[in-house]
Structure 1
Amino acid sequence: MHPHNPYAAPDSELDVLPQHCSRDGKFALLPSGCDLPARCIKCNAPVAIAPKKTTLYWHTPWLYLLILLNILIYIIVGLIARRTHAVTPYLCDQHRLRRRRRMQLCFGASLACIALTFVGDHFQSGAVFGLSIFGALIFFIVGLFVSRRLYANKITKEYTRIGGCGEAFLASLRQQ
């Protein structure tokens, strides 16, 4: 039986975070080959379900200038020059549900806009047809952004700088 020690450090249910994961401002830094701790990347809550690994891609922003030359050249050079890092982005039940609802809302709005194209085509209204196609495209692009959990800000041979983490998760990491 252990006596109560009022000067002892408090016990925590939190997992011990790996020392290799650190913080650099609003980004998490991971050395090459390392993974994120098993905590929600938004609120730092414990996570019971392990998600699938996600591969983050990054290339230097200077390559976007190739779009001015030719989009096909940009795609080919971007695929060759990109760097990758596989991570496991843990989300708690609350944030996973919020992400799923946002994705469903954008997908439903995009489908509604596509259905509106048939209405515009039926009444031979070019404005309704054009706006509905534009709306479907906009909702699709917005859906891509609300569905992403993390993004790579920079990937080098030594480390990966990851954005999209919540402040509570970043506060639990040691400062770089």
Structure 2
Amino acid sequence: MSDTFNPYSPPRSAIEETLGHDNDVVWRQGKVVILRQREHLPHRCIKCNADAPLGAKPVRLYWHAPGWYVLLLINVLIYLVAAMLVRKRASVHIALCERHLKRRFVGRLIGWGGSLSMLLGMVLGISEDVPSAIVVCAIGFFASLVAGVTLARTVYPVRINDLYVKVKGCGSAFVASLPAFPDA
């Protein structure tokens, strides 16, 4: 970028001046990865920083301020409606290596397959009037959901605003490879 004055160039904001050149779109701040809206993470596995030969996949993220959870004390339906109205959205392209893609697939398989099979077991337990099967399948249902979410989750939003998307869930090697966020 040249230092000559161009009267026809569009104005630049103060925040844009502090962020540096256009190649700086992804940073770290502790364990949090910060990227500009509508930008992509580097094409490396977000868990182990290895090569990701299969390409990046878009992941939709939704976030709302934590204060909205107070509505759960009033009514779940009111909370759901309010959360749908006030949530912020972002699409982040993430890349995973083969090992972490398999882990995510296994997590989805456990989550969906386990919960559906346990749900079927509960229905059969109810129809055959076997209370112990109902209890075991109910516990298995929730356990498979928790295990599936834990294994399949890649990144999750910490904050989304008009300029940035802040996410957690990336591996320490990936986070360490990013430049520090410039404090303005």
How far is the alpha carbon of 1:111 from its aligned partner?
Answer: 4.0
Tell me how far apart the structure 1 counterparts of residues 139 and 180 of structure 2 sit (CA, whole Å): 44
Alignment RMSD, CA only?
1.9
- Per the alignment, do residues 59 and 131 of structure 1 end up closer, same or farther by CA in structure 2, a change over 3 Å counting? same
- The 8 Å contact of residues 110 and 144 in structure 2, kept in 1 or not, is answered as no
Tell me how far apart the structure 1 counterparts of residues 138 and 76 of structure 2 sit (CA, whole Å): 22
Provide the TM-score with structure 2 as the length reference: 0.77
Partner of 1:146: 151
Identity of aligned residues (%): 32
Amino acid corresponding to residue 77 of structure 1 in structure 2 = A
Describe the superposition over 1:21-67 as per-residue Cα deviations: whole angstroms up to 9, x where unpaired: 10010110012222111111011112222243111110001101101
Describe the superposition over 1:119-145 as per-residue Cα deviations: whole angstroms up to 9, x where unpaired: 533652223213313421331243133
Tell me how far apart the structure 2 counterparts of residues 77 and 39 of structure 1 sit (CA, whole Å): 36
Match of residue 95, structure 1, among 75, 90, 100? 100
Equivalences, count: 159
Amino acid corresponding to residue 149 of structure 2 in structure 1 = L
Tell me how far apart the structure 2 counterparts of residues 79 and 98 of structure 1 sit (CA, whole Å): 30
Structure 2, unpaired ranges of 5+ = 1-22
Structure 1, unpaired ranges of 5+ = 1-17
Amino acid corresponding to residue 45 of structure 1 in structure 2 = A
Match of residue 54, structure 2, among 49, 57, 72? 49
Provide the TM-score with structure 1 as the length reference: 0.80
Q: What is the correspondence of 1:14-29 to structure 2 with a 5 Å cutoff?
A: 18-29=23-34
Tell me how far apart the structure 2 counterparts of residues 72 and 85 of structure 1 sit (CA, whole Å): 24
